[in-house]
Amino acid sequence: MDGTLNLDTSLEQRLNIINCTPADVKRFLVAHPPDTRINPGIKKLINSLRARGVQVYFISGGFREILLPIAKDCGIPYENIFANRMNWQWDDQTGEPTKLVGFDFSEPTSRNQGKPEAIARIRRNNPYNTIIMVGDGITDLEAVQGTDGADMFIGYGGNIARPAVAAEADWFVAVVGSGAMACAAVTAMTTNIASEAGSELFESDVSMWIHEEEYEGKSLSEVINETNMNSKYFPGFPLGPNVKATNNLTECVKDADVIVFCAPHQHMHSICKKLIGKVNEKAIGLSLTKGMRVRADGPQLISGMINKYLGIDCSVLMGANFASDIGGGAMSEAVIGYYNRDNAKLLVKLLERDHFHLTILADAPGAEMCGTLKNSVAIAAGLCDGLGYNANAKATILRQGLEEMKGFSKALYPTIREDTFLESCGLADLIATCYGGRNRECAEAWVKAQLAGTPKPFEQLELTFNDGQRLKGLMTTNEVYDIIQARGWEKEYPLFTTTWRILNGKIPPSMIIKRAWHVPTGVRCHTVPQLIQMDRTSMYRQHYTVRTILNDMHPAHIRSSPTVSVVKMQNAMLRPMTRAFNSARPMPAARPIQAAAPRRVPLNVQALRVNNVEIPNSKRIQFSLQYIYGVGSTTAKAIVRDAGVENKKVFELSEGEINTIREEVSKYTTESDLRRIVTLNIKRLKDIQCYRGKRHLMGLPVRGQNTKNNARTRKGKVKTVAGKKKLLRKVQRDDFIQEDRISSILRQLTGSKCNDAGFCRRNLRKTGPQFSLDPGSVVTSGSSLEASLLNDAAGVSMFFKLTAYEDGFVRLTVDEAPEAGRYKILDLVQGPVESRQGSWHVKSQDSGAITVTFKSTSITLDFKPFRLTARVDGEIAMVLNGRDMFNFEHRRPKPEDGGPECDGCWEETFISTQDTKKNGPEAISLDISFPGFQHVYGIPEHATSMALKPTVDGEPYRMYNLDVFEYLVDHYFGLYGSIPFMLAHKMGLTTGVLWLNAAEMFIDVEVVGNGTATQWVSEGGIIDLYIFAGPSPADVTAQYALLTGTTALPQLFSLGYHQCRWNYKDEADSKAVNAGFDEHAIPYDVLWLDIEHTNGKR
């Protein structure tokens, strides 16, 4: 255990020493209860974190069997444990484990760097912002050093490293890259290595990898080895006597202890993949590369990429320096952002010189993001210089650029420190690059060429300014915008967005300053007096700016008493400014706007103009929007929700929020456009005298649409006559009395809530009785796992069966004895599928649980209480009964004495119908949780978003097939086709369930932590649940189609125009509608009739 063994070898040797039996494990657990095996205060800490809603995980290099009691005592869910599993040899006769034969190599903690891998897996499966590792060992500290590892490490008791971890030999240095900055770093290294102190630490030779190319008739590596200089990319600066250039990447790094990466960032991914398994696992990395890799699941920093593929610690060097200054001995500085402080100190000894000052910073992501993003800001600064703007304009670019660098970096990596942006890698590097870098020079030349009428592409300018190499700022701008566009952040980062649009020809270069001035509210705000008092040299621009601001100014910024138009206020404010501009004298300071405004142009803005409609500013925005014709309460609610603003009073909205509201309203057809459309549609309906047309002719609301803002409503006005009101109503609506009676019934049916049904009242959001699986009854044979499921309180046993299918799904059934006669759906599964059953493999089994696997699916059954955890490729897909809501009400006759009180168990009344239940209650309930899945989809067709909204604060989704002709928008109740199929989707995994039950049911959806929890409550039947493992959306869809059959294509006639209406009174009525279409030459293909038009509705 001196650090020379791999972890897996160490574990094997440890097991050989222990050589324990299951009885030994049990004796150990009895002799050492959980409280004796955890440090004081840990349990209190865990309880405090859980009380605040913080998820706690248990990651250990020990064995799961030993740790389970500790996790249970601390309240840590079993699925939150990462530890090694013991593998046992099972006795064929008794079916009991007898001998320890090894451990499970699939657990990440079974190998070196296992804890960082476990945390990376947690991060992939859960959208946590911050993960903190708490521990007392060196392997716990390693958890923050891996890619996607923990954000912080809290150590206690001291971190102890093995003596053999640090190598005895000198450090051998290799450099990957041959550009100017790589060569500058080599000059600093070779000078330090040649010194007395450096020679004791580092090998004298430095290996340098060259991307081979020809230079003056020779290969570049040959030129460097012969002349000791990179004459193409770093001419005039000797590299050092012991630099060995090679074009063999593997040979360059194979023996290196320190690897410095300084290759173009677009090539780093392929370089890292080539070096997998080829570098010393104890090597130290340093990245000088500026840039990031943009992937579908988010950006990846170069240091993170190196750590992920090569498994080594990688620091970064960023700062205010140019390669020529470092090589020429000019004053320069830089920051080394680190994950490992000791490694950073070593790198300082390798690179720091008298003229090249280095500091270390415990924020590698922050330093690397600064070094990456400043190149994009430098492009914007070059555009500003090319347009001939003054120093003030360029300062604006730098200020806004620093703001956006900070916001963008912290949005991607929340743990980045605020003070990092004031270090050399932040503000200093930004200033240096925006005034002297190649990105700025190329952008300036590009704009000047456009203004001169001789535009040049960047490829041509790169040959002139960058020796043919790609401009980092150009690529970074495109990569940053890819992220901004994918996440809808255009308004948050106007400078990055504008720069990209200019470079891609979307807008002219002159927009760079205009967009920089128009930043989101809160970033910069000038008051009106400040604008008025600005000097004459910028008067014209401020004239424009004041008018622009006033056009968009909001009542929150300007208040007084009487009302006056905004135009008058503009003129009053601009008049003294215009006089000052036209004269040589500066504006008198004695006449500020505040002194004149109250007397001559008092102001009280009472409305805000949206789509040429003035809406009140004293009301909440959701209410005020309804002053716009065509915007009702539902549409207003949708606009506010889509705009992402709070439903506050209008005068409290910021300028940015108002603009967003205006954009959302513009997506709808409103006001004069809508009035014209409505008028034409109503005229057409009246002409053909269809159902709606007749109601419009009679002045009646159509399909219950009787609000003033609804587009399709034209409610007739009826004068009230004393004594005639009831008669008038009867005459007007005589033909629709039958319809209203049916509509009333439909409203009662669709309005049925959980509280109206006894089975739902008894089970929804309630913990059920404890059910447990009898360990002695568990039998695994081929494709099935069978057991007895016991209701511990009632003493009733159920049949439990788990079946695996070759097509990738699993079937779970729970039923009473056959004589109970519970209803079940038959013949759903297609014949060929039923014949393709798989075979379970028992992975582990003890007195508390059993784990079986088939292909990529793993099922763990905890016996008491009953719980089922399904994993796909080792990742938790769903948990059944994780919240103990499982209930299976068994059939039974009513006791003669009536038995204990039971809500709706034996009889209940629905509307006017008495429902007697001779077999008693038979509801079933099961909670299905999807950890890490923020969205679930499916179940009934409903008039709301595709992603099912949480229902925990209201009514659950109701599964009740019903033909309804009217419904509420954005409502929970189902319309047509209630199919109890639910799909859960997240990045990298899609899974689904089919609850095969024909009874009425309710489904509750709740967001719990970083996942989604659901509860399924059915009035009767059995539990017949299909689990679709996926792992992709296409896989889940294919598995569902294999099970139930594919969807039939529509018939050809259905593609035409259909005329459909409910409630034709008779045959003459339907013929009249047909004649109306002919009269007005309106073609149609199908006329749908229902039972209403037949004689007696038979």
Q: Which residues are catalytic?
A: 374
Dump the DSSP string for 278-325. TS-TT-EEEE----EEEETTEEEEHHHHHHHHH--EEEEEE-S--HHH
Q: Which residues contact 721 (CB under 8 A, 6 or more apart)?
A: 728
**C-alpha–C-alpha distance, residues 499 and 506, integer Å:** 10
First to last CA, the chain: 89
- Asked if 941 and 978 touch (Cβ cutoff 8 Å), the reply is yes
- Asked if 318 and 335 touch (Cβ cutoff 8 Å), the reply is yes
Residue type, 342: D
- Asked if 997 and 1014 touch (Cβ cutoff 8 Å), the reply is no
**C-alpha–C-alpha distance, residues 888 and 884, integer Å:** 12
SS (H, E, C) 72-132: HHHCCCHHHEEEECEEEEECCCCCCEEEEEEECCCCHHHCCCHHHHHHHHHHHHCCCCCCE
SS (H, E, C) 843-856: EEECCCEEEEEECC
Which helix (DSSP H) or strand (DSSP E) does residue 907 occupy?
strand 907-910
Place of tokens 């309880």: 47
What b/e readout covers 186-215, taking b as 16+ CB neighbours within 10 angstroms? bbbbbebbeeeebeeebbeebbbbbbeeee
* Cis ω for the linkage preceding 865 (within 30 of 0): yes
**C-alpha–C-alpha distance, residues 862 and 72, integer Å:** 13
> What pairs with residue 1017 in β-bridges?
925, 1002
- Asked if 252 and 212 touch (Cβ cutoff 8 Å), the reply is no
State the pairing for strand pair 771-773/784-791: antiparallel
Residue type, 267: H
Q: Which residues contact 984 (CB under 8 A, 6 or more apart)?
A: 877, 878, 930, 933, 935, 936, 937, 990, 991, 992, 1012
**C-alpha–C-alpha distance, residues 377 and 494, integer Å:** 12
CA angle 192, 197, 198 (to 5 degrees): 40
The stretches of 452-489 forming alpha helices (DSSP H) are: 458-465, 472-487
Cβ burial of 474 (10 Å; 0-12, 13-18, 19+) is buried
Q: Which residues contact 744 (CB under 8 A, 6 or more apart)?
A: none
Q: What is the CA radius of gyration of the chain?
A: 37
**C-alpha–C-alpha distance, residues 915 and 912, integer Å:** 10
**C-alpha–C-alpha distance, residues 557 and 320, integer Å:** 41
Residue 829 main-chain phi, psi, to 5 deg:
-70, 130
Q: Which residues contact 991 (CB under 8 A, 6 or more apart)?
A: 870, 872, 877, 878, 930, 933, 983, 984, 1027, 1028, 1029, 1030, 1031, 1036
**What is the number of alpha carbons within 13 Å of residue 591 lying toward its C-beta?**
14
Residue type, 963: D
